[in-house]
Amino acid sequence: MTQVITDVAIIGAGPVGLFAVFQAGMLKMKCHVIDTLDAVGGQCISLYPEKPIYDIPAFPKIFAKDLVDALMEQIKPFSPEFHLNQRVEHLSKHGDIFVLETSNGSVIHAKAVIIAAGAGAFGPNRPPLDRLEEFENKSVFYMVRKKEELAGKKVTIAGGGDSAVDWAIALADIADVTIVHRRDKFRCAPNSHDQLTKLATEGKIKIETPYQLDELIGGNGVLTSVILKDFSDNTKSVDTDVLLSFYGLAMDIGPIEHWGLDINKKHLAINPTSMETNISGIYAVGDICAYPGKLKLILTGFSECAIACHSIYNLVFPGELLHFEYSTSKGVNN
């Protein structure tokens, strides 16, 4: 059994959890980070490592894997400790100290806890299609690991949200792309919708609406086409080498649900002025927390990290005044 003592335990090693390490480090607080995945990066690395992200300040476009690499470089001076491929099974409080017990037997003692678990344990919502398992991970995928592997292929993308639209745009220059959605209106950022419409007008993308996936055609895991059906039961065949299905994630916050936190629809209620939950000393940032006016953006999560860490400072250094300085004057190693 491994036992460690730290200032802040961070649950979740996605981009927001990594930035929490930076904010804590700037305030001289040490961190241990726990994540169920076997690598840092959260959903960014697991689901869309080569998907471009457009709402990171100072980056007109940055790929998810590059964002994670940059965050890891940013926190290197603070030497965080990572506990990967394990999850926090039990959390208790003894006096002023939280005790976190993980699935591989690690025990972490911390003065404060930041939950940056994103969507929790997640998995894709699968389309209700016959023979789906036959094609999964061969011709049907729920993420894109390497964009170049789709070059020159006939790619059908199912879904109407940001992931579906962003990948349609990203693949338009290298693949024959068809995007399928059951409604005429897509649920994506307005700028992305404008790009999608422009590419369709230029003949670089085909849009099929309002249609739903109805049947997979092929054998031995190799797709040749997909059958689409509209609400009048009219069908259409689309030649397809690869089907990318983006119907969102099934969210499961796991043991967090049993820690006595105020949970509403699998989200943690917090005080947005401090990011503290209903349990003193436990904070939540990123997609897992909710409050009026919350925007589910990475940059919002980054801001929440700063608020949380400044709130935590007095727990870690009781009685000490926090003299806030801009990073331009403070620096990282001062």
pLDDT value of position 222? 97
Q: Are residues 139 and 102 in the same domain?
A: no
Q: Are residues 103 and 196 in the same domain?
A: no
| pLDDT digits 0-9 by tens, 163-200 | 899 999 999 999 999 999 999 999 988 999 999 999 99
pLDDT value of position 73? 97
Q: Are residues 16 and 91 in the same domain?
A: yes
Q: How does residue 57 score in pLDDT terms, banded at 50, 70 and 90?
A: very high
Average pLDDT of the chain, as a whole number: 91
Q: How does residue 49 score in pLDDT terms, banded at 50, 70 and 90?
A: confident
Mean pLDDT within 263-280: 95
DSSP 261: -
Q: Are residues 239 and 253 in the same domain?
A: no
CB atoms within 10 A of CB 323: 6
pLDDT value of position 210? 96
H-assigned helices in 117-208: 132-135, 162-171, 190-201
What CATH number is attached to the domain comprising 320? Answer: 3.50.50.60
* Spatial separation of the C-alpha atoms in residues 298 and 286, rounded to whole Å: 7
Which range of residues forms the domain containing residue 209? 126-245
pLDDT value of position 242? 98
Q: Are residues 56 and 80 in the same domain?
A: yes
Q: Are residues 197 and 133 in the same domain?
A: yes
Residues 6+ apart with CB under 8 A from 7: 24, 29, 30, 31, 110, 111, 112, 316
More confident of the two residues 79 and 124:
79
Mean pLDDT within 145-158: 93
Mean pLDDT within 115-124: 74
**In the chain, pLDDT over 90 holds for what percent of residues?**
74
Q: Are residues 111 and 214 in the same domain?
A: no
* Spatial separation of the C-alpha atoms in residues 241 and 20, rounded to whole Å: 41
User: In the predicted model, is pLDDT for residue 47 greater than 70?
Assistant: no
pLDDT value of position 326? 58
Q: Are residues 232 and 132 in the same domain?
A: yes
Where is the domain boundary, 222, 245, 268?
A: 245
pLDDT value of position 328? 57
Where is the domain boundary, 205, 226, 245?
A: 245
Q: How does residue 117 score in pLDDT terms, banded at 50, 70 and 90?
A: confident
Q: Are residues 102 and 151 in the same domain?
A: no
User: In the predicted model, is pLDDT for residue 2 greater than 90?
Assistant: no
Q: How many domains does the chain have?
A: 2
pTM score of the predicted model: 0.73
Mean pLDDT within 219-231: 96
2 by DSSP, 3-state: which?
coil
Q: Are residues 106 and 181 in the same domain?
A: no
Mean pLDDT within 5-33: 97
Mean pLDDT within 196-211: 97
pLDDT value of position 53? 86
Type of residue numbered 55: D
pLDDT value of position 227? 98
Q: Are residues 298 and 238 in the same domain?
A: no
Residues 6+ apart with CB under 8 A from 198: none
Diameter over CA atoms, the chain: 71
User: In the predicted model, is pLDDT for residue 33 greater than 80?
Assistant: yes
Look-up of token digits 């939540």: 284
Q: Are residues 160 and 233 in the same domain?
A: yes
Where is the domain boundary, 204, 223, 245?
A: 245
